[in-house]
């Protein structure tokens, strides 16, 4: 049983009458007013959270126990609340807009990473994925409730501040302090609501399709950092032309202390601090994170079961960018590498589907080959099934329809079906809701016949491409065993263009 205590304010004697069902509440805006210090890791401030309540009941704000709440108001009136280790519970009435102000302070245990960088300089970086925002921000820490956000950050004057959106103010205050205000008007999930506070070298903006692109790196890395990060100006227009409009007012690429290789914070992407100097690997990483500005940030999964709509999309869009720049052989090499990664994952986790409906919490586990490489492979097989023209038309329509909103796997399927006229439910069921991949054993049934045998359960249905002496053919595999006629002595290659996610084992001996 969790310890629930009552926190009574203003001595009024009232508190949360009739805590019953959860209210239907939509967060409409966050305003975070934060003060950072050099003498301590404690943060001080308040959050203004505007919500629209559809029904009365309990409204829960996520907030870590390390953050001490000293006051809560509703539209300026002090109110009571219940506090437990997961956050605050507030009673709301139906049909109203509430603006709650949560006044709080504490030392973040996670979420806001406060530590020195590799040059020994103090830094502060938000690192919220997947549900770590509540470690330092009162919020609804789930991807399904998106909202605009303003950050007002007061910090020692030597630091620069970067955050999502447009910078509206940057003023020096008394006592060698600086107040910076960033505003993001586009609704975004809490996983990408962050600040970066450090001593930065900041490039002049380069405008791409009217979007200012900035580089923020540690001053010691200014030369190579500005040079390496400049590749973003080549990647951004490719995605705009291929996918549709860029939703945000800027793109900042930021050297940081994120625990990930890159984190796709909306319009302020954070990269690991040793990313400078990684060469072409940085181009691939940037392509992945910039793709997330469309898929993950602007179109956000309804919940973490559908994470492949973020990570699988970013993985495949990165490959498609590389294909356009370096050719089809690069795409085949990337897919071959990803297929090996998926097969290794399937051997370790044979019962885990991409859309894992049984997962409850522990979302870091979703950073796996199912969400990334298998999700990307699903998109590749859809592209081959629909053809390039229909596929890209459908992806553009999916983005346009769900921009600024949340989408599920079914949302994508329905758009693809409307564009293609195909029933894709069997495809989605097989590749996304069914664990594993086809395990195909290829043997010679006779000198002129080849046997394809699926060894896994359940069976998959798929087209398998093959060449006979260099000539391309396709066989439709629908059952346990499929026989294919080939000339005696012919050279046969299976899946020569790397279009099927399968484990294909070929035996050359005759096995009647």
Q: How far apart are CA 110 and CA 107, in angstroms?
A: 9
Q: Are residues 359 and 489 in the same domain?
A: no
Candidate from 18-27, 110-119, 149-158, 440-449 with smallest mean pLDDT: 18-27
Give residue 508's pLDDT: 66
Q: Are residues 375 and 489 in the same domain?
A: no
Strand pairing report for 25-35 and 147-156: parallel
* Within a domain: 136: yes
Instruction: List, for residues 173-206, the tens digit of each pLDDT value.
Output: 999 999 999 999 999 999 999 999 999 999 999 9
Residues in the chain: 512
Q: Are residues 398 and 476 in the same domain?
A: no
* Within a domain: 272: no
Please, what is the average pLDDT of the chain?
94
* Within a domain: 356: yes
Element holding 251 (H helix, E strand): strand 251-255
CATH number assigned to the domain comprising residue 151: 2.60.40.1730
Distance separating the N- and C-terminal Cα atoms of the chain: 64
Q: Are 138 and 88 in contact (CB under 8 A)?
A: yes
Give residue 15's pLDDT: 38
In the chain, the number of structural domains is: 3
Q: Are residues 411 and 452 in the same domain?
A: no
CATH number assigned to the domain comprising residue 467: 2.60.40.1910
The token pair at 302 is 């309804």
Give residue 24's pLDDT: 87
93 vs 224, more confident: 224
Candidate from 18-27, 149-158, 228-237 with smallest mean pLDDT: 18-27
**Coil, strand or helix: which one is 37?**
coil
CATH number assigned to the domain comprising residue 342: 1.10.390.10
Q: Are residues 409 and 472 in the same domain?
A: no
Range of the domain at 86: 1-117+128-168
* Within a domain: 388: yes
* Within a domain: 252: no
pTM of the model: 0.94
Give residue 20's pLDDT: 56
Look-up: residue for tokens 């007061």? Answer: 154
Q: Are 266 and 30 in contact (CB under 8 A)?
A: no
DSSP label of 204: P
Mean pLDDT, rounded, for 145-150: 98
Indicate if the pLDDT at residue 3 is higher than 60: no
DSSP label of 299: B
Select from 432, 448, 473 the last residue of a domain.
432
Mean pLDDT, rounded, for 362-390: 97
Mean pLDDT, rounded, for 59-67: 97
Task: Tell me the DSSP string of 401-427.
Answer: HHTTSEE-HHHHHHHHHHHH----HHH
Select from 168, 200, 230 the last residue of a domain.
168
Select from 410, 432, 454 the last residue of a domain.
432
Q: How far apart are CA 512 and CA 510, in angstroms?
A: 6
Indicate if the pLDDT at residue 55 is higher than 50: yes
* Within a domain: 195: no
Neighbour count for residue 507 (Cβ, 10 Å): 11
Question: Between helices 328-348 and 375-386, what is the axis angle to 10°?
Answer: 130
Q: Which of 365, 407, 366, 383 is nearest to 501 (CA)?
A: 383
Q: Are residues 47 and 152 in the same domain?
A: yes
Count helices and strands (H / E) in the chain: 9, 31
Give residue 361's pLDDT: 82
What b/e string do you get for 8-19 counting C-beta neighbours within 10 Å, with b at 16 or more?
ebeeeeeeeeee
Task: Tell me the DSSP string of 62-96.
Answer: E--TTEEEEEEEETTEE--EEEETTEEEEEE-TTE
Give residue 509's pLDDT: 60
The CA-based angle 26-309-454, given to 5 degrees, is 140
Q: Are residues 495 and 425 in the same domain?
A: no
* Within a domain: 27: yes
Q: Are residues 36 and 73 in the same domain?
A: yes
Percentage of residues in the chain with pLDDT exceeding 90?
A: 90
Strand pairing report for 81-84 and 43-53: unpaired
Q: Are 24 and 145 in contact (CB under 8 A)?
A: no
Q: How far apart are CA 419 and CA 395, in angstroms?
A: 10
* Within a domain: 222: no
Q: Are residues 325 and 423 in the same domain?
A: yes
Indicate if the pLDDT at residue 77 is higher than 60: yes
Q: Are residues 320 and 425 in the same domain?
A: yes
Give residue 471's pLDDT: 97
Q: Are residues 427 and 447 in the same domain?
A: no
Indicate if the pLDDT at residue 510 is higher than 60: no
Indicate if the pLDDT at residue 1 is higher than 80: no
Indicate if the pLDDT at residue 33 is higher than 70: yes
Indicate if the pLDDT at residue 95 is higher than 90: no
Q: Are residues 52 and 137 in the same domain?
A: yes
Residue 398 pLDDT level (bands cut at 50, 70, 90): very high
Residue 472 pLDDT level (bands cut at 50, 70, 90): very high
Candidate from 35-39, 87-91, 281-285, 504-508 with smallest mean pLDDT: 504-508
């Amino acid at each position: 049983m969790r310890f629930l205590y009552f926190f009574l304010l203003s001595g009024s004697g009232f508190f949360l009458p009739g805590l019953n069902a959860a209210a239907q509440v939509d967060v409409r805006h966050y305003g975070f007013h934060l003060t950072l210090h050099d003498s301590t890791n404690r943060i001080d401030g308040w959050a203004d959270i505007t919500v629209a309540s559809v029904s009365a009941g309990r409204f829960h704000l996520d907030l870590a126990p390390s953050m001490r709440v000293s006051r809560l108001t509703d539209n300026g009136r002090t109110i009571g609340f219940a506090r437990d280790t997961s956050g605050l519970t507030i009673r709301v009435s139906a049909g109203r807009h509430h603006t709650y102000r949560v006044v709080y302070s504490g030392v973040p245990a996670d979420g806001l990473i406060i530590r020195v960088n590799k040059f020994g300089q103090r830094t502060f970086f938000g690192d919220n994925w997947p549900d770590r925002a509540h470690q330092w921000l009162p919020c609804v820490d789930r991807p399904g409730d998106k909202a605009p956000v303003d950050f007002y950050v007061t910090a020692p004057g030597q630091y620069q501040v970067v955050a999502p959106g447009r910078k509206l103010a940057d003023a020096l205050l008394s006592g060698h302090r600086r107040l910076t205000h960033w505003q993001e008007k586009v609704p975004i999930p809490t996983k990408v609501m962050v600040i970066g506070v450090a001593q930065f070298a900041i490039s002049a903006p380069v405008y791409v399709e009217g979007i200012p692109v900035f580089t923020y790196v540690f001053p010691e890395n200014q030369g190579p950092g500005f040079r390496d990060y400049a590749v973003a100006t080549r990647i951004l227009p490719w995605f705009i032309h291929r996918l549709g409009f860029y939703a945000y007012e800027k793109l900042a690429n930021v050297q940081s202390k994120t625990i990930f290789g890159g984190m796709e914070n909306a319009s302020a992407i954070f990269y690991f601090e040793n990313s400078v100097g990684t060469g072409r690997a940085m181009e691939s990483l940037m392509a992945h994170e910039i793709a997330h500005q469309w898929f993950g940030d602007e179109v956000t999964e309804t919940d973490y079961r559908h994470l492949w709509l973020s990570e699988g999309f970013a993985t495949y869009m990165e490959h498609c960018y590389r294909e356009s720049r370096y050719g089809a052989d690069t795409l085949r090499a990337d897919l071959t590498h990803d297929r090996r990664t998926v097969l290794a994952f399937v051997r370790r986790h044979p019962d885990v589907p991409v859309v894992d409906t049984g997962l409850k919490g522990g979302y870091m586990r979703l950073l796996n080959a199912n969400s990334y490489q298998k999700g990307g492979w699903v998109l590749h097989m859809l592209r081959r099934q629909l053809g390039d023209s229909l596929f890209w038309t459908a992806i553009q329509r999916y983005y346009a329809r769900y921009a600024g909103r949340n989408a599920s796997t079914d949302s994508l399927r329905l758009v693809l079906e409307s564009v293609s006229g195909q029933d894709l439910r069997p495809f989605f069921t097989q590749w996304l809701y069914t664990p594993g991949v086809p395990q195909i054993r290829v043997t010679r049934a006779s000198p002129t016949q080849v046997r394809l045998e699926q060894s896994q359960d359940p069976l998959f249905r798929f087209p398998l491409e093959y060449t006979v002496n260099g000539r391309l053919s396709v066989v439709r595999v629908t059952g346990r065993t499929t026989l294919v006629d080939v000339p005696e002595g012919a050279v046969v290659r299976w899946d020569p263009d790397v279009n099927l996610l399968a484990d294909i084992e070929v035996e050359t001996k005759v096995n009647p």
